[in-house]
Amino acid sequence: MNAREAGPERRQDRRQDTRPGTRTDPRPDTRGPGAAPGEPVVLARDVRMGYGGVQVLNGVDFTVAPGEVSCVIGPSGSGKSTFLRCLNGLEPVLGGSLRVLGEEVGHTLRDGRYHPWTPKHFAAFRRNIGMVFQRFNLFAHQSALDNVACGPVHVLGLAPAKAREQAMEQLERVGLAAHAHKRPHQLSGGQQQRVAIARALAMNPALMLFDEPTSALDPELVDEVLEVMRGLAADGMTMVVVTHEIGFAGEVGDWLAFFADGVVVEHGRPAELLADPRHERTRAFLSSVRAGKTPA
Ligand SMILES: Nc1ncnc2c1ncn2[C@@H]1O[C@H](COP(=O)(O)OP(=O)(O)OP(=O)(O)O)[C@@H](O)[C@H]1O
């Protein structure tokens, strides 16, 4: 078994990492309150979803175990973002089954019947899931520190002083403590994205979702964001990462899923899938990415 195949055990080794901001304490159990022992963090079976009668997800099967990093690649329009948004309940699942953090997303089984979640239940569920988008969406009038402290104060009800103290720890974790008092316009795109990651981490999520977090960045800023994500993986954070950064997926992912036409057409260990893709669509996609073309 090579290092890439070692999965979560590999992360135990990485915890010895001494880079600044790298946590050394063991991760809490991230399965979620309703999960049975051994249950994955994400368990998608035949997930279906569409917009206005147009089917976008056509039966997605996808599993993420605690502490694993699952990368998702695929052509534009194949449903990657839609699936990510289903994971945190931003889009409704219209068929199949999607369990995340031990809950059937959007429904609770009670008295032998499924009951739809209330907005309050959705909000409580989303608190455990950090999401980082292509666009950082920081509050322009607030400092980096206040952007990161905002959720813990307003959503978790933390005292402002405590929230700012914890926000500073998260900014340290992403290497931005020295920039804590700057506003977004005083930061580079890469730094703003790192603030967005710190903001998500400040909610102490059990699962982090990344939707092409480096796609909007100038090429020279991409690696500083990927480096932060490498650190999170080393800490044992459970992550689903939609990305066009094939090298990163190969290096950091425990698993790699290739989406096309709203299904996972190929799934496997990144080293194997990237070196020897089985499906014609995967081969064509990887060729176009490697040729520097925008995959269609
Ligand atoms: N809010 C929406 N309303 C209607 N159609 C949508 C909406 N969001 C996405 N779609 C459509 O769903 C399909 C899948 O989109 P999605 O963004 O999930 O693909 P993707 O694989 O993430 O693409 P990309 O790599 O370009 O981000 C596309 O055809 C898109 O036009």
Region for 98 from its dihedrals, namely left if φ exceeds 0, alpha if ψ lies in -120 to 50, beta otherwise: beta
- The residue whose two tokens read 């429904």 is 107
Ligand 1, residues 47, 60, 78, 261: which to mutate, most atoms within 8 A of Cβ? 78
- What residue type is 179 in one-letter code? H
Task: Give the pLDDT of the chain (296 residues) as one tens digit per residue.
Answer: 333 334 444 444 443 333 223 333 334 445 455 566 678 999 999 999 999 889 999 999 999 999 999 999 999 999 999 999 999 999 999 999 999 999 999 998 888 888 999 999 999 999 999 999 999 899 999 999 999 999 999 999 999 999 999 999 999 999 999 999 999 999 999 999 999 999 999 999 999 999 999 999 999 999 999 999 999 999 999 999 999 999 999 999 999 999 999 999 999 999 999 999 999 999 999 999 888 876 55
- The residue whose two tokens read 């290739």 is 258
Atom of ligand 1 nearest to the CA of 242: 22
Cβ(235)–Cβ(27) under 8 Å?
A: yes
Give this complex's ipTM: 0.96
Residue nearest to atom 28 of ligand 1 (CA): 77
Residue 49 CB less than 6 A away from ligand 1: no
Residue 250 CB less than 6 A away from ligand 1: no
Tokens of 96: 């199949």
- What residue type is 10 in one-letter code? R
List the beta bridge partners of residue 99. Answer: 43, 104
- The SS3 call for residue 214 is coil
